[in-house]
C-alpha cells in the first residue's frame, strides 16, 4: 500500500506528530516554573494562528513567539503568579484549622481561582496584542467579570485535564502527548470570542 504524501491522511498524521512534539516542548519549557508564563503565551500564540488557519510551522512559531514575548509574558506571569501563590498558601493555611476558619479559606480560594483566570486572560492578551504589562494585567483582572461564561469555560478546560488524569491514570499519556496543546486550542477559541467584542 502506497501513501500519498499530499493526501489529507498524511497531512493529518504529520499535524498530529507536530502537535505531540509541540506539546512535549511546551511541557519541558514549563519545568523551570518561572518560564510557565512565557511558554503558555507562546503556545496560545501558535494555537491562535492554527485556529485562524494561518498555516505556518507550529514549532518554529512557538520558539519565535517565546523569543518575542518572553519579557512581557514573564512580567505578567510574575505580577499575577505571586498573588496566586500567596492566595493558594492562605487557602491551605486556613483550611488546616477547619470550622469558621475554613470560610476564610473559601474566600482566599475563590480569590486564587479568579487570579488564575486573570492570568490566562493576560497570557492570551500578550499572545495577541502589544501593550505594557501593567495595562495587560489591569485588563486581565476585568475580563473574568466582563465575560463570566467564557471565563468559566476557560477554567473548566484547565481543570478537566488534571482532574481526568488523576481520576484515570492512563489519561496522563494523553495529556503529555496532546493535552496541553488541545487545551490551549480550546482556550484560544474562547478568548477570541471576547477579544472580537472589544
Instruction: Give the integer Cα–Cα distance in Å for 51 and 188.
Output: 8
Give the side-chain half-sphere CA count within 13 A for 94: 15
**Residue 173: what pLDDT?**
78
**Residue 3: what pLDDT?**
47
CA distances 73 to 78, 82, 101, Å, are 9, 14, 35
Instruction: Give the integer Cα–Cα distance in Å for 49 and 42.
Output: 11
**Residue 151: what pLDDT?**
96
In percent, the amount of the chain with pLDDT more than 70 equals 91
**Residue 40: what pLDDT?**
95
Q: How confident is the model at residue 7 (pLDDT cuts 50, 70, 90)?
A: low
**Residue 168: what pLDDT?**
76
| HEC profile of the chain | CCCCCCCHHHHHHHHHHHHHHHHHHHHHHCCCHHHHHHHHHHHHHHHHHHHCCCCCCHHHHHHHHHHHHHHHHHHHHHHHHHHHHHHHHHHHHHHHHCCCHHHHHHHHHHHHHHHHHHHHHHHHHHHHCCCCHHHHHHHHHHHHHHCHHHHHHHHHHHHHHHHHHHHCCCHHHHHHHHHHHHHHHHHHHHHHHHHHCC
Question: Does residue 67 surpass a pLDDT of 60?
Answer: yes
pTM confidence score: 0.87
Interval 170-179 mean pLDDT: 77
Tell me: the pLDDT tens digits for 22-60?
A: 999 999 999 988 999 999 999 999 999 888 876 668 889
**Residue 91: what pLDDT?**
94
Question: Does residue 9 surpass a pLDDT of 80?
Answer: no
Amino acid at each position: 500500500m502506497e501513501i500519498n504524501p499530499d493526501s489529507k491522511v498524511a497531512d493529518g498524521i504529520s499535524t498530529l506528530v507536530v502537535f505531540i512534539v509541540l506539546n512535549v516542548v511546551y511541557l519541558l519549557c514549563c519545568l523551570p516554573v518561572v518560564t510557565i508564563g512565557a511558554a503558555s503565551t507562546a503556545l496560545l500564540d501558535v494555537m491562535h494562528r492554527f485556529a485562524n488557519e494561518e498555516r505556518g510551522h507550529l514549532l518554529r512559531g512557538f520558539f519565535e513567539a517565546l523569543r518575542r514575548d518572553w519579557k512581557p509574558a514573564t512580567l505578567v506571569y510574575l505580577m499575577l503568579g505571586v498573588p496566586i501563590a500567596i492566595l493558594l498558601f492562605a487557602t491551605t493555611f486556613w483550611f488546616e484549622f477547619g470550622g469558621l476558619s475554613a470560610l476564610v479559606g473559601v474566600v482566599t480560594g475563590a480569590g486564587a481561582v479568579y487570579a488564575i483566570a486573570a492570568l490566562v486572560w493576560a497570557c492570551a492578551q500578550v499572545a495577541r496584542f502589544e501593550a505594557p504589562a501593567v495595562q495587560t494585567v489591569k485588563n486581565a483582572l476585568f475580563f473574568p467579570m466582563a465575560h463570566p461564561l467564557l471565563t468559566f469555560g476557560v477554567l473548566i478546560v484547565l481543570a478537566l485535564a488534571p482532574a481526568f488524569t488523576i481520576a484515570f491514570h492512563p489519561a496522563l499519556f494523553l495529556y503529555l502527548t496532546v493535552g496541553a496543546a488541545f487545551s490551549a486550542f480550546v482556550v484560544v477559541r474562547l478568548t477570541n470570542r471576547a477579544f472580537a467584542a472589544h
